[in-house]
Chains A and B, each alone.
Chain A
Amino acid sequence: MFNLLSLIFRYFFILIIYAFIFGIIRMIYLDIKAISEVSVSNTPYLKLINRKDSLPFKIKEVYTLDDTITMGRNKDNDIVIVDPYVSNHHAKIILDENFYFLEDFDSANGTYLNGDKLMDAIKLRNGDRIKLGQVEFLFVSND
């Protein structure tokens, strides 16, 4: 009885282990695909202009913009910038009818669009430069 069972099971064991391996590979593949999709997609994104390792805090090169994005020093922001010159809730980017608007949150040091300090919400266009604290982003959009 045992012998028969073991003889049959060995095929199943092999099957399961390989299904497992395949499953893991598939998951990894999907992950990679998702990441590369993001970089190829058409959604607008913010690209870091400063040299990344010149900044003494953690920051990414690219931030995709899905919807509304908040930026600031506090951890609850979508883009967290631990820069002493950046306020807790510094600025936000709002999606309204397919256009992105930049708005300052009454930050201490202000938010700058193409060099000019931001007073109201302004519509963002491809190539705009956004600066807050020591960080400068390029707004990239395909529209």
Chain B
Amino acid sequence: MDLESKRIVRVLIVLSTMLVGLVLYLSYFEVFKADQIESHSFNRRQWLNEELVIRGSIIDRNGKILAYSEKVEDIQSRIYKYGSLYSHIIGYSHKEYGKSGIEASYNKLLIDDESNPIRVITDKITGTRDKGNNVILTIDHELQIMAEKKLKGNKGAIVLMNPMNGEIYAMVSKPDFDPTTLKENWEDIVEDLESPLLNRATMGLYAPGSIFKIITATAVLQAGNINEIYECEGSLNINGFVLNNFRNTVHGEIDLEEALVESCNVAFAQMGLQLGKNNLRMAAEKYMFNKIIPFDLVTKRSLFPSTTAMTNPELGATAIGQGKLLTTPLNMALVASAIANDGLMMKPIIVKEVISPEGKSIKSNNPHTIGKVCEAEEAGIIKDMMIEVVKSGTGTNAAIKNTVVAGKTGTAQNDMGKEHAWFIGFAPAENPKVAVAVILENAGTTGGKSAAPIARDLLNAGLKKFE
């Protein structure tokens, strides 16, 4: 064959290979990628099932309907009875903007969508399916209202829960938005620098500050240094980096309990150095740092920084809850709950049950342990220290008459602005019924001053309900 013909054949082979390549890609696509792409929320085909079925309602633990759908002449509309109150929990379900919150994570059950192929075919032929399933939350509507009121005017989050079974009674994140007017306000919402769409309780990552000392203390107990005395002169020099107490307070010689009660940075930094970075990290990871917390809503992992290159100054800062540590309010609520629950951390639950329109239970979330942070006696010791924090330490604003409250305050420095004000705690200490985590983002005040009172009121209200 002459040269010209050879070249022609070569071009033919190239072009054919290109086309065959497309065939192979199509097959690969269908086998490996199609399912994941098909279930994307922007795929309007998912929505069709929705047009046919009346979307299920979302109900609080006491039967109060929080969100429901009604169909007027073939057009379905979703009604969010309490507007922005549940904006981060329930989220929204919108043709153009997708879904968020429970509307997203429980979508299939809300529209009773099953991908069983036989079901698909029979449905296409007979066109059944009428109403979706109803989702029952663990939320208590009145507690939610109160939590929202308490946070109003601030940025931040509140998580109020039951430490024994993981059920969440209230979860608020501010700023929020109104899902009812999503379309009208979308531009503003999306462009708002404060990110109202963000659920700070589950996705907000903050420096924990002093509340992390509970974790450091746990590590110290587990290492067996309960009676160690620490020397506090108001500030500590670690390899040239100076770490101060709040207002450079000098505590003199203190033990672990006093250090926690007074929230002494110097003592805890020393503890961190003594423990070593790996021990501190392991303790944090038992508290679910660097791990994904299984939950009905999307959550972010708390971050304990990498220990490979951690210097001593960084270790010291981390031990007092600063440095590169980041955590979510939900995680911190779980920390308090774990101590309340004798060292067992329960899986957070916000959906109690899913029931069919006829009342049959389709899915039920039962209490489930996700980790053991320490032994029961160690939890007991920390609990006592936390009781003392509220009785005579930095957390006195959280005290409730006739009830023993255990807690920890935190004032977290961060590079986004003013300090965050934290409080985590639970009550009644001897038989905990409610646990709470409160954060006021960039509040500029101490946890004891601003966050503790809010926690007090919520714990109080929770106790009245669940005593």
Which residue in chain A gives the minimum CB-CB distance to B124?
A3
The complex places the Cα of A55 from the Cα of B261 at a distance, in Å, of: 110
Verify if A4 is at the interface (C-beta below 8 Å from B). yes
The complex places the Cα of A42 from the Cα of B169 at a distance, in Å, of: 94
Residues of B within 8 A of A17 (CB): none
Count of chain A residues with a beta carbon within 8 Å of a chain B beta carbon: 3
Verify if B1 is at the interface (C-beta below 8 Å from A). no
Instruction: Fill in one digit per residue for A1-33: 1 if any B CB lies within 8 Å of its CB, else 0.
Output: 001100100000000000000000000000000
The smallest C-beta distance from A72 to any residue of chain B, in angstroms, reads 31
Verify if B121 is at the interface (C-beta below 8 Å from A). yes
Residues of A within 8 A of B124 (CB): 3, 7
The complex places the Cα of A3 from the Cα of B124 at a distance, in Å, of: 7
5 contacting pairs across A/B (C-beta < 8 A): A3-B124, A3-B125, A4-B125, A7-B121, A7-B124
Which residue in chain B gives the minimum CB-CB distance to A1?
B125
Considering only residues 121-135 of chain B, those with a C-beta below 8 Å from chain A are 121, 124-125
Binding site for A on B (CB under 8 A): 121, 124-125
Residues of B within 8 A of A7 (CB): 121, 124
Considering only residues 41-97 of chain A, those with a C-beta below 8 Å from chain B are none
The complex places the Cα of A7 from the Cα of B117 at a distance, in Å, of: 13
Residues of B within 8 A of A3 (CB): 124-125
Which residue in chain A gives the minimum CB-CB distance to B121?
A7
Which residue in chain A gives the minimum CB-CB distance to B127?
A3
Residues of B within 8 A of A4 (CB): 125
Residues of A within 8 A of B121 (CB): 7
Which residue in chain A gives the minimum CB-CB distance to B123?
A3
The complex places the Cα of A12 from the Cα of B125 at a distance, in Å, of: 19
> Which 5 residue pairs are nearest across A and B when measured between Cβ atoms?
A3-B124, A4-B125, A3-B125, A7-B121, A7-B124
Which residue in chain B gives the minimum CB-CB distance to A4?
B125
Residues of A within 8 A of B125 (CB): 3-4
The complex places the Cα of A3 from the Cα of B125 at a distance, in Å, of: 6
Which residue in chain B gives the minimum CB-CB distance to A6?
B124
The complex places the Cα of A132 from the Cα of B121 at a distance, in Å, of: 76
The smallest C-beta distance from B351 to any residue of chain A, in angstroms, reads 35
The smallest C-beta distance from A28 to any residue of chain B, in angstroms, reads 14
The smallest C-beta distance from A39 to any residue of chain B, in angstroms, reads 14
The complex places the Cα of A7 from the Cα of B123 at a distance, in Å, of: 12
The complex places the Cα of A35 from the Cα of B260 at a distance, in Å, of: 95
The complex places the Cα of A26 from the Cα of B34 at a distance, in Å, of: 33
The complex places the Cα of A4 from the Cα of B121 at a distance, in Å, of: 9
The complex places the Cα of A35 from the Cα of B125 at a distance, in Å, of: 53
The smallest C-beta distance from B159 to any residue of chain A, in angstroms, reads 48
The smallest C-beta distance from A11 to any residue of chain B, in angstroms, reads 13
The smallest C-beta distance from B9 to any residue of chain A, in angstroms, reads 14
The smallest C-beta distance from A5 to any residue of chain B, in angstroms, reads 11
The smallest C-beta distance from A74 to any residue of chain B, in angstroms, reads 32
The smallest C-beta distance from B22 to any residue of chain A, in angstroms, reads 16
The complex places the Cα of A104 from the Cα of B125 at a distance, in Å, of: 80
Which residue in chain B gives the minimum CB-CB distance to A3?
B124
The complex places the Cα of A7 from the Cα of B121 at a distance, in Å, of: 9
The complex places the Cα of A3 from the Cα of B122 at a distance, in Å, of: 10
The smallest C-beta distance from A8 to any residue of chain B, in angstroms, reads 11
The complex places the Cα of A125 from the Cα of B224 at a distance, in Å, of: 112
Which residue in chain A gives the minimum CB-CB distance to B126?
A3
The smallest C-beta distance from B28 to any residue of chain A, in angstroms, reads 19
The complex places the Cα of A51 from the Cα of B124 at a distance, in Å, of: 70
The complex places the Cα of A4 from the Cα of B123 at a distance, in Å, of: 11
The smallest C-beta distance from B123 to any residue of chain A, in angstroms, reads 10
The complex places the Cα of A8 from the Cα of B457 at a distance, in Å, of: 65
The smallest C-beta distance from B3 to any residue of chain A, in angstroms, reads 15
The complex places the Cα of A58 from the Cα of B147 at a distance, in Å, of: 96
The smallest C-beta distance from A32 to any residue of chain B, in angstroms, reads 14
Instruction: Fill in one digit per residue for A92-121: 1 if any B CB lies within 8 Å of its CB, else 0.
Output: 000000000000000000000000000000
The complex places the Cα of A4 from the Cα of B126 at a distance, in Å, of: 10
The complex places the Cα of A41 from the Cα of B121 at a distance, in Å, of: 58
The complex places the Cα of A109 from the Cα of B121 at a distance, in Å, of: 82
The smallest C-beta distance from B145 to any residue of chain A, in angstroms, reads 48
